[in-house]
Amino acid sequence: ANARLEFDQAPTEVQELAQACNLMLTRISDAWGQQRRFVSDVSHELRTPLTLVQGYLQSTLRRCNSLSEPQREGLEIAAAEADRTIRLLQDLLDMARADGGHLRFNLEQAPLKQEVQDILDMCHYSSDRVQFQADAPSLTARIDRNRLKQVLINLIDNALKYSDSDQPILVRLSRAGEWAQIQVRDRGRGIPPTDLSQIFEPFFRVDEDRSRTTGGTGLGLSIVKTLVEGMNGKISVQSKVGDGSLFTVHFPIK
Ligand code: ADP
């Protein structure tokens, strides 16, 4: 939005060219802003009625004992699709907010072991499947607790989605120099080396068909990266096909 070309000392022709370019940049920036507002408004408008539909579907499934098997199956598919679409809308909303610099962070010094443990407890992951190891139990860092929750849930959900159900996921808290390090390691299918550099791009998925069956949106990791960077952290990934993936989030200790 602030891109401008400055050529005050240049010959007239160059100044005119710079002016024309600046006009173009302003138009592109306006169009971009309109598109962002459109995505944000539409996501917001669609999310409310869809949440209502999802609520009705779920309460019918819970309360109605007289449903035939095909009816129940149909409602379950509708509820799962509503759920997936609500998540996609939430992701789009977050993306539009992040893009416009409207994502707010409430940073506070927090004990990381307790934060991670609380998130894991709240999500009711089975402790056999998602294991937690705190090598540096007294580490604290300046984070936004809700955003950290969003980051961890995204990484753990991916680890669960892209690995077999008998493979444990390890969440590890440790110290690396002046950084607090939270890692999520899975023993799943891994990510091909050629795709690793694109994994944090919006809508990127390693294997379209495979991802579709898992109901992902392709937005999760790009939002995770935006959130981590918004907390002054950084995120990286190492992966080997057939051996699994290791996502590492760093937060500055001081
Ligand atoms: P999605 O909603 O599709 O999971 P993400 O942005 O979270 O979107 O991830 C992008 C793509 O990266 C996924 O579609 C998947 O192909 C790949 N991916 C993410 N996490 C993992 C993982 N732990 N193991 C293997 N592949 C992964």
Which residues, 6+ apart, have CB-to-CB distance to 43 below 8 Å? 89, 90, 92, 93, 96
The per-residue b/e assignment along 71-93, b for 16 or more CB within 10 angstroms, e otherwise, is: eeeebeeebeebbebbbbbbbbb
User: 10: pLDDT confidence band, cut at 50, 70 and 90?
Assistant: confident
- Going by pLDDT thresholds of 50, 70 and 90, the confidence category of residue 204 is confident
Residue range 79-103: average pLDDT? 84
Percent of the chain past pLDDT 70, that is, above it, reads 94
- Output the six-digit token pair for 214: 């898992």
CA of 111 to the centre of ligand 1 (A): 28
Report the predicted TM-score, pTM, of the whole model to 2 decimal places.
0.78
Quote the pLDDT of residue 210. Answer: 56
Among 162, 213, 246, which residue has the most ligand 1 atoms within 8 Å of its CB, making it the best to mutate? 162
Label residue 215 by pLDDT band (50, 70, 90).
Answer: low
Query: Quick one: pLDDT at residue 4?
Result: 64
What's the whole-number average pLDDT of the chain? 89
Stretch 236-246: mean pLDDT: 96
Q: How far apart are CA 188 and CA 112, in angstroms?
A: 26
Q: Tell me if 171 CB under 6 Å of ligand 1.
A: no
Q: Return the best residue to mutate from 94, 221, 235 for the ligand 1 pocket (most ligand atoms within 8 A of CB).
A: 221
Q: What are phi and psi of 28, to 5 degrees?
A: -60, -45
CA–centroid distance, residue 216 to ligand 1 (Å): 8
